[in-house]
Amino acid sequence: MKRVWAIAGIAVRNAVRSRVVVVMLGLLLLAIVGLPLTIKSDGTVSGEVQVLLRYTLGAVTILLSLATLWAGCAAVAMEVQDRQIHLVMTKPVRAGELWLGKWVGLMTFNAGLLVVAGAVTYGLLLWNLRGERANPQVREEILVARRVVRPEPSPVYSIPPGRAVRFTFRLPQTPVADRPLILRYRFASSLTDKNPVACVFVAGAPARADRWQQQQFSAPGGVHTLAIPPALVGADRTLTVDIGNIHPVPLTMVFDPRDGLAVLSYAGTFAGNFARTLAVVWCGLGFFAAVAVTMGSLFSLPVAALVAGEVVLLAHIGASLRTLAGDESWLRGVYVVLYWLTKPWQMPDPLAKLATGELVSWGWLGAVGLWQVLVCGGVLAAVGTWFFNRRELGLPA
């Protein structure tokens, strides 16, 4: 491991002394401070917080991803071009140690920058929520980590006029007593107007005498929330919710089976969620770094950067590929193949979860780390090492 640390140390030292770190810090701080001033929120404190968390951290992620791709490709390709590799590979250094050293150096650099960017964003968030701006809505809906529980599959997701439909939510843990459960819902209406629709929500087991009931006027298309007392959850951790359509004008309420209904239960603090989200972002950067170092081991810098960019782009346009694969285009077959090839890398956006107060769980972080860093990184390392071992480093320029 001494050789790996030595190579990683060189990468970090070069980044610091060539002022790459200073430039990157400058760009990141500019994005963190400048972006919230240029993007318009909905005018509420919640909106401002969501812009800061989603778009600012999103910009940080994009900047670090681009820097990682470039630096990763350059890490080996430039050393081959400038022939510093002649002095390294004539020492007892294995190709795998070189690959790992470059990756570790890059990820140390990323970790440092991500910690600074995260700390500044968090500081800015606290400053933004000083005094009365930290209202209960922000605290309960955004500055929290809530587990999202979808209803058990139901044969019906549409509610005709004057009818009610029952949905059952099976919670993985007993809810915290002093934290309300949040029912989040969104529906479409069979009418074209967007006037609020009268509906009624009844929560609790049907046999209970103390069932909770709330009448609501909710606009179709919007996301709405309702606080439900956690005591209504049964001993088997099941929550039953009946939704009734009581609108005076006949219309049908239609819930999207994928994200039309969910119960959010308290699962932890915002600080922990924030840290785990940054860790998921870091794992994503680990995958980018692995792609880039491998490409840099195989090709010259311009070719490596181009190929690595293409690979990362393909891996992250899964949603678009899915849409394209559904079209009746003569390229449909290509899109279908690309969609299935890139499917393993398609995952929910952790920043979207953080900005809506959804839990980024340890389990998810572990799965992302295992898949993106260990499995994908390991395969890329093996490919990069195998080809690098066969490469002639002393060829004339």
- Among 242, 326, 236, 284, smallest CA distance to 114 is for 284
Helix (H/G/I), strand (E/B), else coil: 77: helix
Shortest approach of another protein to residue 16 CB, angstroms?
8
Q: Work out how close the CB of 294 gets to another protein at its nearest, in angstroms, rounded to a whole number.
A: 20
Which CB atom, from 20 or from 124, has the smaller least distance to another protein? 20
Tokens of 112: 């440092």
Q: Smallest distance, Å, CB 90 to another protein? A: 5
Q: How far is the CB of 23 from another protein (least distance, A)?
A: 15
Q: Which is nearer to another protein, 94 or 237 (CB)?
A: 94
Q: Are 245 and 199 in contact (CB under 8 A)?
A: yes
Q: How far is the CB of 391 from another protein (least distance, A)?
A: 9
**Residue whose CB is less far from another protein, 76 or 197:** 76
CB 197, CB 219: distance < 8 Å: yes
Give the residue with the Cβ less far from another protein, 4 or 117.
Answer: 4
Comparison of 328 and 392: residue with beta carbon closer to another protein? 392
**227, 181 in Cβ contact below 8 A?**
yes
Q: Smallest Cα–Cα separation from 181: which of 159, 215, 149?
A: 149
Minimum CB distance to another protein smaller for 136 or for 396: 396
Does residue 392 sit in helix, strand or coil?
coil
- Determine the Cα–Cα distance for residues 286 and 373; give it in Å rounded to an integer: 6
CB of 310 to another protein, least distance (A): 21
- CA neighbours within 13 Å on the CB side: how many for 4? 10
Answer for the pair 338, 322: CB distance below 8 angstroms, yes or no.
Answer: no
Q: How far is the CB of 378 from another protein (least distance, A)?
A: 21
Asked if 151 and 200 count as a contact pair (C-beta separation under 8 A), the reply is no
Nearer to another protein by C-beta: 88 or 239? 88
Shortest separation between residue 86's beta carbon and another protein, angstroms: 5
Nearer to another protein, 3 or 322 (CB): 3
Backbone angles phi, psi at 168, to 5 degrees: -120, 130
The torsion angles phi and psi of 349, rounded to 5 degrees, stand at -80, 115
In the complex with another protein, which residue's Cβ is closer, 2 or 130? 2
* 190-196: Cβ within 8 A, 24+ apart: 190/251, 190/252, 190/254, 191/249, 191/251, 194/219, 194/220, 194/221, 195/219
Residues that bind another protein (CB under 8 A): 2-3, 5-6, 9-10, 13-14, 17-18, 82-94, 392-396
CB of 8 to another protein, least distance (A): 11
Instruction: Indicate the residue among 8 and 52 with the shorter CB distance to another protein.
Output: 8
Token representation of residue 29:
């701080």
134-147 burial code (b ≥16 CB/10 A, e <16): eeeebebbbbbbbb
Cβ 240 vs Cβ 165: under 8 Å: no
Please, what's the b/e burial string for 63-87 (b: 16 or more CB within 10 A of its CB; e: otherwise)?
bbbebbbbbbbbbbbbbbeeeebee
CB of 99 to another protein, least distance (A): 15
Nearer Cβ to another protein, position 92 or 248? 92
In angstroms, give the least distance from the CB of 302 to another protein. 15
